Amino acid sequence: AQSVTQLGSHVSVSEGALVLLRCNYSSSVPPYLFWYVQYPNQGLQLLLKYTSAATLVKGINGFEAEFKKSETSFHLTKPSAHMSDAAEYFCAVSGVNTGFQKLVFGTGTRLLVSP
């Protein structure tokens, strides 16, 4: 079965610091991987996706992620955090085994940004 593990339920950074949110996946077939962001009382917004093209994926709001097959990782980074980045972030996987439309989500990481 496909799954993702997000390390750290909470990550705290200072404004201007590097943001690193970790995601490791488990899949017996090439996966599709996604990062979503959720603001309070809102739905999910797609930040970026990996669908077997370039391993370094650039997304919206300055975020990017690198697919590393050898490490089964898809960590999300942003060089400089902004106060508006404070939200909950979810890594998700889909693939041929579970159906490409079925997203399997990690437990989420809440990003806290301090001034």
Partner 1 sequence: KAGVTQTPRYLIKTRGQQVTLSCSPISGHRSVSWYQQTPGQGLQFLFEYFSETQRNKGNFPGRFSGRQFSNSRSEMNVSTLELGDSALYLCASSFRTGSTEAFFGQGTRLTVV
Q: In angstroms, how far is CA 102 from the centroid of its own chain? A: 16
Q: Is 27 left (phi over 0), alpha (psi -120 to 50) or beta?
A: beta
Residues contributing to the site for partner 1 (CB under 8 A): 32, 36, 41-46, 49, 51, 90, 92, 94, 98-108
> Nearest approach, Cβ of 81 to partner 1 (angstroms)?
24
For residue 31, the 8-state DSSP code is P
Q: How many CB atoms lie within 10 A of CB 97?
A: 13
| Closer residue to partner 1 in complex, CB, 80/107 | 107
Calpha distance 58→47 (Å, rounded): 9
> Nearest approach, Cβ of 55 to partner 1 (angstroms)?
17
> Nearest approach, Cβ of 35 to partner 1 (angstroms)?
12
Cross-strand partners of 67: 74
| Closer residue to partner 1 in complex, CB, 18/54 | 54
> Nearest approach, Cβ of 103 to partner 1 (angstroms)?
6
Q: How is residue 89 written in tokens? A: 């972030």
